[in-house]
A and B are shown apart, each in its own frame.
Chain A
Amino acid sequence: MRYVDEFREPQLITRTADEIRRLADPQRHYRFMEVCGGHTHSIYRFGLKDLLPSNIELVHGPGCPVCVLPMGRIDDGLSIAEQPDVIFAAFGDMMRVPGTRGSPLEHKARGMDVRIVYSPSDALKLARHNPTKHVLFFAIGFETTAPSTALTLMRAKAEGIRNFSVFCNHVTIIPAIRAILDSPDMRIDAFIGPGHVSTVIGCRPYGWIANNEGKPIVVAGFEPLDILQSIVMLLRQMNDDEKKVENQYKRVVPWEGNRGALKAMAEVFELRPYFEWRGLGFISQSALRIKEAYSEWDAECRFSAPGVRVTDPKAAQCGEVLKGVLKPAQCKLFGKECTPEHPVGALMVSSEGSCAAYYNYEHRKAAQLTQLTGAAC
């Protein structure tokens, strides 16, 4: 078993899609939000919307850590890296995200030492191999990624590696979901929960969504069968008028989460009182910063950065699209001033942002065409 192809098996997918069709009440219109950008990406990559009946609407949520990063933070990270002998290291996702004076790749073309890393431990390795330089790791991600940054910082401290620091932009998922549910225009019926964040935080933290807000939530994996099965589970809950947290991704997500990962995070990080989310505004207790015990490896302590707030153009309707109030194509700038090549707003800069995903995978599909491919299967 390889745990990938089995969950992409065409016959099983077709059968599960049939079950969805059977369960969806034709008198109802269902709005399910997938919180996580990785789910948005999977849905488009596997063409899952083609398999759903028209009364099931998938709304893309704010779980895209690149999308919600304010431009000012990118400017800050790059301004630190402008100092001589600093290496700017970040995941590939960050490389084309525009700051006020260009993206990291554009800075690289102008002479900055910019490296793509796959892992925070690769950034630490860079520091070990370049003792005369300082490696600045620009950290992004939700709770899935934060433990790895934490462990890397613990290793840096244990080994006494001083030419390494982290510019921390880790954010947490629960406040983002809360912001969606608190929004007055909110009309989400149920949630497809973030499968990989849940490998760290477990399923308990979502209890209030079912119990207090009365919305079903199913923690889902990322293969086509995972997402489709999660929709089956949501439909069953809604048809039976149930509201609970369920774990579809059992093969990987422990109900109690990953103790080791949570411990590492608690050792290194604390919650910021508030943090700005691009498109959503300031949210309290929603982001992580490095604790004082590790301040020597905190780029915000070791260096000074402009800290200038950069606001998005008013015409960009990212906030509404993030909250699922508008579809990407309904934003006035979509496809015109704002495209993946020259993104204006947050959701176009990352390939898993709703607008970019829709633009890259979907918007030129004609309605007749969807019927054509449906008939082919």
Chain B
Amino acid sequence: MCLAIPGKIIELLAEDRDLAVVDILGVRRRVDLGLLLDDPPTTGDWVLIHVGFAMSKISEMDALDQLRMLTDIGETQAALEEVQGYGSS
């Protein structure tokens, strides 16, 4: 289940504070923010959208952390192999 994709809030609707316009790669759709009222997102925030509802705010910090971790995997390995290379020559 669960096709949900990230989109950026580009406009909060004046007539209904629970609705926002979200942009996904240039496609725009009204999205319901009613499930995030505890910590409402605002213009410029990225949210995860599923069936026209925002399910969660996307944390840029966590995303960057994760990418950094993944980049490190490869680099640590490359560094390890380099060190091992010195040992065998």
Contact = CB atoms under 8 A, between A and B. Distances in A.
Q: Is chain B in direct contact with chain A in the complex (CB below 8 A)?
A: yes
Contacts of A138: none
Contacts of A6: 63, 67
Interface in A188-205: 194-197, 199-200
B70 to A, nearest CB: 5
Contacts of A118: 51-52
A276 interface: no
B36 interface: yes
A147 interface: yes
B14 interface: no
B25 A2 contact: yes
A288 interface: no
A119 B51 contact: yes
B1 A253 contact: no
B48 A252 contact: yes
B58 A252 contact: yes
Contacts of B42: none
Given A3-B6, A15-B74, A194-B1, A121 B52 contact: yes
A103 interface: no
A119 B52 contact: yes
B65 A250 contact: yes
Interface residues of A, number: 55
Interface in A243-267: 248, 250-254, 258-261, 264
B38 A18 contact: no
B59 A2 contact: no
Interface in A114-128: 118-122
B74 A195 contact: no
Interface of A is mostly: helix
Given A119-B52, A145-B51, A148-B53, A250 B35 contact: no
B62 interface: yes
Given A1-B60, A260-B38, A264-B35, A15 B51 contact: no
Q: Which of A7, A251, A352 has the most CB of B within 10 A?
A: A251
Given A120-B51, A144-B50, A225-B70, A251 B59 contact: yes
Contacts of A7: 67
Contacts of B67: 6-7, 12
Given A6-B63, A195-B2, A199-B55, A148 B50 contact: yes
A253 B74 contact: no
A65 B73 contact: no
Contacts of A207: none
A16 B70 contact: yes
A217 interface: no
Contacts of B6: 2-4
Contact of B32 (A3, A151, A196): A151
A177 B89 CA distance: 52
Contacts of B4: 144, 196, 199, 222
A29 B40 CA distance: 46
B88 interface: no
B83 interface: no
A222 B60 CA distance: 17
A148 B50 CA distance: 9
A63 interface: yes
A37 interface: yes
A64 interface: yes
A32 to B, nearest CB: 19
8 contacts: A3-B6, A12-B74, A38-B1, A120-B52, A155-B34, A199-B48, A199-B56, A254-B56
